[in-house]
Structure 1
Amino acid sequence: MENMCASVESSVRTQLDSISSISMNIVYSNAIKMNFREFSTTFQRDGTAPADQAASREKAMAIHDIVTAMIGAYQSASEINLYTMDGSCVEAGYWLRTTTVDLERLPWYSQTLALNGHKYITAPVVNRELPAKGENQKSQKFISLVRLFLDTDGKPEGIVEVVQDCDRIFSLSSQLESQNPDSRVFIYNSRQELVYPYVSDSSYPDYYAMITHTAAAEGQAGVLNTESSGKFLFTYQTIEGYDWTVILVRPQSAFYKSLSLFRTTFFLIGALSILVTLFICFFISKRLTAPLEKLTAATGKITISRVLDEKKVNLTSADSSIKELSLLCESIRSMYEKLRSTSQEVLLSKSEETRAKFQAAQSLINPHFLYNCLTNISVMAEENMNEDIIRMCRYLCDYFRYISSSREMIVPLKEEIFYTECYLNCMQMRFHEGFTYNMNIGEGTEQIYIPKLIIQPIVENVFKYGFQITPPWQLSISSYSENGQWYLKVEDNGGLLSEEKKEELLKLYENLDMNKEWNSLQIGNMGLKNVCLRLRLLYATEAVFQIDCSTPGRTSFIVGGPIYQSREEYYEHHPEL
């Protein structure tokens, strides 16, 4: 771009130098001055004699011949006009004629006078009287270089105008633009007027102002960022002696377009090379990692369900010829076998430990209940209640058969309620009209499986702590289910448990240390704590243990857990038992 810009600058400067030299040769030509003075004298006389008219034409012809000799046969200028200061004009070059003009109406007149002999170059103007060449044939625009004749005293004597075809001045610019469609040449004169392209087009941005604002160095490339057309690369040169500026611009996208084929080819070759390399690497790695894939698949089968499965499941072999992989495979197989045996032993131990803890907690209820019943029988014997003793013994026999059986840790709610009634009947025989109870078993809850002996400790706790008021005493047992949970509610009319005591008990049972409590189990004073421990052992976070004192004169104990309709369903969710 810098070379192209320098070439355009050199070509335009050469053309401007040419027409400037022609004007200087005419100004300093004594022959032209002498003939021009005589022409000026004879042409302006009124009623000029035929002899004088002939002399005027003769001087005009002489001027034309001298000008023709100067511009040569190829006409290095399109037209040369010589003006007297009073408006007489000799046209030499393409035309040979004399005319009279009003100099003050010419656009360059005042500027030419102000320059006092220095050259003035006009902007491109349309002149239909002169033939144009090349691309200028349609627009027919010409540029004039004008300067004054000065006499020996330095006063204006006349004006010389050298007219040149714009196509000739800017021929290289047009040629370079045709050869480089993406490049555009813009030439501004000393007055910052756009002289090329000389075809008027208001869509051109003012590149001269943009370059002035960028403060870019002459002869070096830079970047212009236009709001309407995007980014352009540019370079510019100043035509020395004329103060014209040649600017060459090219869109940044067009500049990189020449690299697109190389870039595309490079990327295609690179992509193809990468694909071939990847295919070769994949083929080699596939053969090398096939044993590892088998080993990975085998180790992926080591799940907790396969480890705990009682049926022996063997891992497949990697079948590798690589010694290290074979050793690794055998090590994993050995680890798997040890893991199976160890896990099953740990689960068996954990199951036995849990079952032992539950049975230990349950067994504490048996002697405690027996002590209370024997005490009741001794009191009844002292009062000669023989028939009641017989009935009580029958109830006790049924109840002790139930509590002494340790085969199952969960029973249907219906069965638990039946044997609880045996115990309550014994208490009713002891206290007669001083104690009554009622059962309100919800529909559909009788076959729900619940922990064995979960109600009796709560009922005993009521007799020990709740019935400290004057009889009659009342006890209510009810059951219901909600949202997949069963609930048992034991309510007494003692109403002796305060809110502070309730919160203290709930906080105590909520923060129980399971391991510590199992090590300190004892007979007596363990009723509610025993119930809480067994619920948490069976149901963990799903266990329900609540105390309600909101009803005046009533205290309710509520226990519950998830619903299971069979022992198989329960043990499926709790394999540790």
Structure 2
Amino acid sequence: MWSKLKNIQTILFSTYTLIIIVVFTILVAWVYLWVSGLIKKNATDSLVNVGQSMQDQIDSEIRKMNDVSLNVMYSNLVKNQFRKYLTDLEKLPQKPVEGLQQPVTLPGASANSVQSAKELAEILTAAMGPSRAAEQIYLYDFNSKVYGNGFDNGERSYDPNTAPWFQAVMSTQGKYITIPVEDEEMSKFISSREKQYSLSLFRQFYDNYNVPIGIVEVKQYYNRIFKSVLSFVKQRAYEENVLVFDDVGQIIYPLKADRSLYDPYIRQLGEGQPSAESAYESFRNPVTGDRELLSNHRSDLTGWNTVVIVSEKKLLAPLADFTRKTLFVAVGILLFAMLLSFVAAKKITFPIYRILRTVRNIRLDDLGSGRIASQELNSGLNELDQLHDAFLNMSSRLRQSMDELLLSQSQEVQSRLIALQSQMNPHFLYNTLATISVMAEENMNEQIVSMSENMSDILRYISSDLSVVELQTEILHTRKYLEVNEIRHGKKLVYSFEIDEPLTRVMIPKLVVQPLVENSLKFATRQEPPWHIRISGFAEDNAWRVTVSDNGPGFSPESLRKLREQIDETYLTNVTPVLQLGGMGLLNIFIRMRLTYGSESVFLFRNLPDGGAEITIGGPMERGERHEER
């Protein structure tokens, strides 16, 4: 696969494409970063501006309430009239009520109290102003009396001990703002069936001697104070959420909020309270796992934090849309540029492919023929036309040497087989004559006669012109060899043959089993008898196997290493080593098996666990059958 990627067209195309991709990527990346920076900045600036605008409008409503409370607080008319109104109330008949520290005024007000209430109402109405900066004003004394002006007019009683705001107001010198509460009284004056919520701003007010004489409460509808927030949430473009909480972590907006959903934001933003300036930060929502942008604005007037919460993904949706469009356009331009580079590369390499097709389709009979010489390239590229002409000249010369080369290779293989086989002859003669010499010294005449007859048969077998024989023939002469050695060693030598019947007709190279037996006997006799030689043959997966084993000392580590290295080198280089005369033995057998069967040959050797060595040779049975047919 990798070689296919190394052709000229691929290299040219890859080079052109790489240049285009690098230049185009740098350009697109620069444009993308620049535009995305602008989009992100505009998006975050818009988020900050929206949050600041909502905080300003909330502050504006609270400031109006605060101004009303200050108008009442510093108005001598209000103070004097409220004091006069309370004095007139004290003159009315009163009745104690269980649970209240102060008695309740009975119905039937005097003309003075009515006039005082009317004048107080006019003053309070003037304090609220024509724009109704507050919907309701209440004036409280410290003795359970309260007077209201707005939608709820008139006097009533209250219990300071049960009023939830009383202690907080008394403990502060400035204003005190409550959290939103459901207001049943103010709900009566709204046509909507929904429950109305209100916020109250409390202040103590003092006489001319700076002595507290009462408390003023300025009340406004919750919907009016948070009108900008409600309007923003209703028409939010990115599903933004708004959170308003005070310094102690009480949630002002939204109403009836699930505390668990907003606690992470309160903890995050409450660790370092920002100043009146806006604070912008990124935040990972622990509930959803989404990245979110927070625009936090803290009011010095109320101490409230107004937080606009929006998902980064949704806020930066225009950036994502720009990214998709940019990638689409970039891919289109890139594909077009790659197409141009492909056309240019093909223009250059097409003539080369024509030459390549000619080379691939050429046959031996075509070399030097007029059919090849008549082909013209006409590529328009001088270098390629010259290459084509050189190929034509080469083909005419190649035909002249092809037959000689094929003949030479055939003769070389045959010569190597004959040479390897011939190496076995002097090797066997040497060992056998040495044995006869020893027997003659011991006057073993009858054994010498028997051995000579067997040796004659063996020599006749060795010197025959056959290169392959039936397995049963190889086994027969191997048995004669063992009988020759049995004459000399007697009962010290024990041997056995276990050959499956189907293998007897299999054709194998001559002299591959007998040398293995000779090698086993040679090393087995180096230790105390008896010496066991076992020859077994069996069929396995349509292949023949012959194993020769002994109970000798086995291969030495050095012999195993050297033989393995020589065999591995042959497998690795696919070149058989050249043997010198006298270099026969196991490697000789391996080479002849390799030359006969190629990669299907089997040559295995090992030391047995209980001592001794084992060598297995083999090859495909089909090939033996073909030899038999010849």
Q: Residue 272 of structure 1 aligns to which amino acid in structure 2?
A: G
Offset at residue 331 of structure 1 (A): 5.7
- Aligned residue identity for 1:232: E
Mapping of residues 64-143 of structure 1, within 5 Å: 64-116=121-173, 118-131=174-187, 138-143=194-199
1: CA distance, partners of 2:273 / 2:461: 107
Residue matched to 1:15 = 61
How far is 1:112 from its partner? 1.8
8 Å CA contact retained: 1:480, 1:488 = yes
Q: Unmatched 5+ residue regions in structure 1? A: 432-436, 468-474, 492-497, 522-528, 573-577
Shift of 1:328: 4.2
CA–CA separation in structure 1 for the residues paired with 2:466 and 2:475: 16
Q: Which residue of 2 aligns with 1:536?
A: 590
Partner of 1:472: none
Structure (1 or 2) with the larger CA radius of gyration: 1
* Offset from partner CA, 1:133-179 (integer Å, 9 cap, x none): 99997231111111122122322212211111112212122222223
1:270 counterpart residue number: 330
Mapping for residues 271-420 of structure 1, pairs under 5 Å: 271-295=331-355, 319=377, 320-328=379-387, 334=394, 337=398, 344=406, 347-348=409-410, 350-358=412-420, 360-361=422-423, 364=426, 404-405=463-464, 407-413=465-471
- The structure-2 alpha-carbon separation of the partners of 1:402 and 1:168, relative to structure 1 and needing over 3 Å to count, comes to closer
Q: Match of 1:197?
A: 254
Structure 1 129/543 Cα, relative in aligned 2: closer, same or farther at 3 Å? Answer: closer
Could you tell me which residue of structure 1 aligns to residue 222 of structure 2?
166
The one-letter code of the counterpart of 2:76 is N
* 3-state SS of paired residue (2:218): strand
Structure 1 position 353, deviation (Å): 4.0
* 8 Å contact kept, 2:274–2:297: no
CA gap 1:346/1:233 in 2 versus in 1, 3 angstroms: farther
Q: 1:559–1:184: structure 2 CA closer, same or farther, 3 Å change rule?
A: closer
1:460-471 alignment runs, 5 A limit = none
Residue aligning to 1:234: 294
Aligned to 2:268: 210
Matching residue within 255, 258, 281 for 1:222:
281
Please tell me whether the aligned partners of residues 555 and 613 of structure 2 are also in contact (alpha carbons under 8 angstroms): no
2:120 to 43, 59, 63: 63
Partner of 2:236: 180
Distance (whole Å) between structure 2 residues aligned to residue 165 and residue 418 of structure 1: 121
User: Amino acid of the residue matched to residue 330 of structure 2?
Assistant: G
Specify the alignment match of 2:12 in structure 1.
none
Q: For 1:55, what is the secondary structure of its paired residue?
A: helix
Q: Normalized against structure 1, the TM-score is what?
A: 0.71
Residue 153 in structure 1 maps to residue 199 in structure 2: no
CA distance in 1: counterparts of 2:206 and 2:424, whole angstroms: 139
User: Is the CA contact 1:292–1:318 (under 8 Å) kept in the aligned structure 2?
Assistant: no
Identical columns (%): 21
CA distance in 2: counterparts of 1:213 and 1:561, whole angstroms: 84
For 2:548 and 2:108, locate their aligned partners in 1 and report how far apart those are by CA, in whole Å. Answer: 151
Superposed displacement of residue 274, structure 1? 2.6
Equivalents in 2 of 1:485, 1:59: separation in Å?
131
Deviations 1:170-189 (A, max 9, x none): 21222222232522222223
SS of structure 1 residue aligned to 2:249: coil
* Cα separation, 2, equivalents of 1:195 and 1:464: 105
Amino acid at match of 2:417: R
Q: 1:95 to 1:344 in 2, by over 3 A?
A: same
Any idea what the Cα deviations from partners look like across 1:228-274, whole Å, max 9, x if unmatched?
A: 13332112222123322222222222222232322222222222223
Correspondence 1:243 to 2:303: yes
Distance 2:333 2:361 in 1: 39
Read off the aligned partner of 1:355 and give its amino acid letter.
L
Deviations 1:201-246 (A, max 9, x none): 4454123322123676752310222311333211222212332222
The letter of the residue matching 1:351 is V
Contact 1:35-1:62 at 8 Å conserved across structures: yes
Residue in structure 1 matched with residue 570 of structure 2 by the alignment: none
Q: CA deviation at 1:508?
A: 10
Deviation at 1:424, TM superposition (A): 11
Number of equivalent positions = 529
Unaligned runs of at least 5 residues, structure 2: 1-46, 95-105, 489-493, 526-531, 568-575, 595-600
